[in-house]
């Protein structure tokens, strides 16, 4: 018996998929039955969440900023104007970083359907510099709220929150926001690696981590792919004693 094993390393995490087809969730061309729209939306949302999670895990880590930018009640802009406002902030931050020989990394999410228009920004910190103070000085429309990423290296909850937060805005697409989020071009994009595993039996339902990692039990999933009808397994391994050192690689 043989199966495909695909791994994606992103910062402190390694995401693993084991399946009997190389690509999970892809129908064979000869299968003409189309999946329901609702089913496709769920799959697309999960894929978007996974892509964002990998980007966050690969590029950000402990002490990097998670910033929420709001507007004063009487100064709330249109979605088009908000896009210009946050672009101006990012351009200004990039210049500030450049002055001290650093490179800005960011992910930007804008939401305006479920509540008052606001932006979420994940920004890399600079050792010895007060990046939060930079943002506060440059954002003229309200009071920014700051949180800092923890030292786990696994930011799946943050990615899930951001995708869920913007799902309605993304679907309606009435303000020029054709993407769920935008990000700087200098982000590391994790690359999947696939190998064929030849074993006498199928994979174990309870996966074991490689040395130096533990299994994030919340991520373990054994199921049947709705598109191919074949079994697959997914889980994430997280580095033990991670202190943020791998966030830029």
Q: Cα 186–189–192 angle (5° rounding)?
A: 165
Q: How far is CA 130 from CA 63, 92, 96, 152, in A?
A: 11, 15, 11, 22
Categorize the per-residue pLDDT at 34 as very low, low, confident or very high, splitting at 50, 70 and 90: low
Quick check: 64 pLDDT over 80? yes
Domain ranges of the chain: 59-183
User: With pLDDT > 90 as the criterion, what percentage of the chain qualifies?
Assistant: 68
- Alpha carbon distance 42, 103 (integer Å): 35
pLDDT for 68: 96
pLDDT for 178: 57
Categorize the per-residue pLDDT at 8 as very low, low, confident or very high, splitting at 50, 70 and 90: very high
Comparing CA positions, the residue from 236, 231, 207, 232 lying closest to residue 219 is: 236
More confident position, 175 or 124: 124
Mean pLDDT of 144-165: 94
- Alpha carbon distance 130, 93 (integer Å): 12
Quick check: 245 pLDDT over 60? no
Please identify which residue in the block is written with the tokens 């979605």: 79
Quick check: 19 pLDDT over 90? yes
pLDDT-wise least confident of 23-32, 53-62, 65-74, 78-87:
23-32
User: With pLDDT > 70 as the criterion, what percentage of the chain qualifies?
Assistant: 88
- Alpha carbon distance 93, 95 (integer Å): 5
pLDDT digits (tens, 9 = 90+) for 187-233: 999 999 999 999 878 899 999 999 999 999 999 999 998 778 889 99
CATH code of the domain made up of 59-183: 3.30.70.1910
pLDDT-wise least confident of 12-16, 101-105, 161-165:
161-165
More confident position, 6 or 41: 6
pLDDT digits (tens, 9 = 90+) for 75-124: 899 989 999 999 999 999 999 999 999 999 999 999 887 788 999 999 99
pLDDT for 43: 81
Mean pLDDT of 140-150: 95
pLDDT for 221: 95
- Alpha carbon distance 249, 237 (integer Å): 16
């Amino acid at each position: 018996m043989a199966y495909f094993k695909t791994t994606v390393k992103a910062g402190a995490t390694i995401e693993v998929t084991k399946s009997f087809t190389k690509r999970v969730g892809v129908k064979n061309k000869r299968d003409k039955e189309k999946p329901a729209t609702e089913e496709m939306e769920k799959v697309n949302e999960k894929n978007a969440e996974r892509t964002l999670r990998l980007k966050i895990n690969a590029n950000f880590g402990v002490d990097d900023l998670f910033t929420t930018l709001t507007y004063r009640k009487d100064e709330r802009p249109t979605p088009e104007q908000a896009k210009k406002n946050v672009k101006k902030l990012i351009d200004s931050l990039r210049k500030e970083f450049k002055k001290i020989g650093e490179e800005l990394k960011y992910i930007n999410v804008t939401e305006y359907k479920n509540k008052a228009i606001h932006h979420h920004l994940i920004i890399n910190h600079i050792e010895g510099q007060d990046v939060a103070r930079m943002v506060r000085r440059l954002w003229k429309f309200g009071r920014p709220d700051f949180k800092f990423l923890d030292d786990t290296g696994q930011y799946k909850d943050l990615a899930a929150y951001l995708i869920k937060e913007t799902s309605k805005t993304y679907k309606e697409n009435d303000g020029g926001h054709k993407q769920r989020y935008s990000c700087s071009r200098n982000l590391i994009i994790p690359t999947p690696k696939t190998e064929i595993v030849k074993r006498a039996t199928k994979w174990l339902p309870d996966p074991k981590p490689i040395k130096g990692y533990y299994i994030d039990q919340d991520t373990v999933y054994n199921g049947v792919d709705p598109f191919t009808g074949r079994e697959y397994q997914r889980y994430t391994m997280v580095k033990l004693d991670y202190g943020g050192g791998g966030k830029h690689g």
